[in-house]
Chains A and B, each alone.
Chain A
């Protein structure tokens, strides 16, 4: 067994940390408060080549392995979970899916600009009536001459308002069941496509989320990703990688909760000594540090399996389940350690707690993760 990172991975972690302290940490509270997409920050991320980390250099990426991209998502999330998540969805799911399933032309036209950071990507599967139950999707696409015509509404689409390229899932043959859904690459300027309502969220507020509306939306048949009917397995493959990204996001949130809790509990004096000397506080911090390590190893292991081209669905689900529940549990504790100060705006732990909640919900709820894991181990 080898738990060592490469020298490059260690240097990249240091560099992204420095980048975050300089560019992300100072604006994280403000972009949360105002639900603002920080275009200026994403420009800097593009300039530094941080937008397409796991994508080969020939397609505009950095050509690093998936584990390296996970380290970056973790460190970004340590400063701002919204930013970490936005990059994770963009590179870890949308870019990666076009890399895996796209034609050369699709990679040139859609993957390369995204990996270079010229615009964001979004993944559109969820609908008002179709969450965990993906078969309940109603959006449909019909071939008309050389175009597909898409009709339907997607919801809770992360990067919806800010993306330039969308991966949209729609039935091409509902009667074929799990083999009847297809994936389309929809550019923002496609006729018949518009961004619907923007959602105001409890946490992850600077990540932009919206409805997407397709009304006789036309895309060329060249925009079909992979084969007709291959959409669902593709979505599942996208989710598997995405879940490792969410686990990494949670590791970043947990690390931040631990950093803040250690700092505050050493500074805060009650009854004449720092509260860290109280066993009640010290043990909360011990549990937090332990779960952080466990979540981190689960996430890195799943990423490592993916890099080795070994099966990783179960491990990705386990990493996401464990890390998200640990992030929720311990950010609540971090607020508790901070007392009244932790409940007020301006305390980082308050934001961390709100940001943590969504990680138990999106890209598969904790319940869905347990379905995936039990389905594998009980097989």
Chain B
């Protein structure tokens, strides 16, 4: 029976972030969610499970509040979860997260065939955790995957690349980072959510891990992006179009 691991991050739901008066970001009333692409990774793990009778495991590193995210993942059809939690894990950088995941997968999960990650997280979208994790585990990494299937001892993946679509195979175990096109994540029913808390979850605390590495990225400040509007209105007749072009020229948008 194959084993599929889906890694996910419990992130701030961007719909709740407000912009303060001076362009600062207001996180005072935010809610959290499983990162968008990570939901695709979870869904793909569950699809592989349903197609091949695999066992689907979810792994996440985060603050203790991410316990709700673990239930969310389990309600989506995941069989069991590893939850690595500490109140200091709110601002880990990608290299630290990847090292923690490597340690836990290596030491706790005896056998696995595929590790699925979202192409990037919903909050930082650094696209680092998947490739770093594959490198540290010494397994192939296949990124930008929009279609995936398992065959005997190998996986077949469709990658969306600039030039078109690339179909490749890779020996197992392998790590795959998925694009949102790979599937449509299911919406868990009430019963799925109520049963999630009854599935096995292994909680791992900071003391169970080797000392944390130093972060490679330092966040100096965060500010909101701003879209300036000049609120000019143009008509569709020739004179108005000329005025429109003139206005774009004046602003230096076109030469």
Contacts and interface: CB of A to CB of B under 8 A. Distances in A.
By size class, the interface of chain B is 10 to 19
Contacts of B119: none
A72 B187 contact: no
Most buried by B among A19, A48, A72: A48
Contacts of A85: none
A8 B72 CA distance: 8
Interface of B: 31, 33, 67-68, 71-72, 75, 187-194, 196-197
Contact of B194 (A8, A19, A22): A8
A11 interface: yes
Interface residues of A, number: 21
A54 to B, nearest CB: 10
Interface in A49-68: 49-50, 53, 57, 62-64, 68
B189 A8 contact: no
B187 A48 contact: yes
Contacts of B192: 49
Name A's interface SS. helix
A49 B190 contact: yes
B67 A68 contact: no
Interface of A: 7-8, 10-12, 14-15, 18-19, 22, 47-50, 53, 57, 62-64, 68, 72
A365 to B, nearest CB: 32
A57 B189 CA distance: 13
A68 B31 CA distance: 19
B75 A62 contact: no
A63 B194 contact: yes
A33 to B, nearest CB: 26
Contact of B190 (A7, A10, A53): A53
Given A62-B194, A63-B194, A64-B194, A50 B68 contact: no
B193 A8 contact: yes
A103 to B, nearest CB: 25
B198 to A, nearest CB: 11
20 contacts: A7-B67, A7-B68, A7-B71, A8-B71, A8-B194, A8-B197, A10-B68, A11-B72, A11-B75, A15-B187, A15-B189, A15-B193, A19-B187, A50-B189, A50-B190, A53-B190, A63-B194, A64-B194, A68-B190, A72-B190
A48 B197 CA distance: 18
A321 B93 CA distance: 52
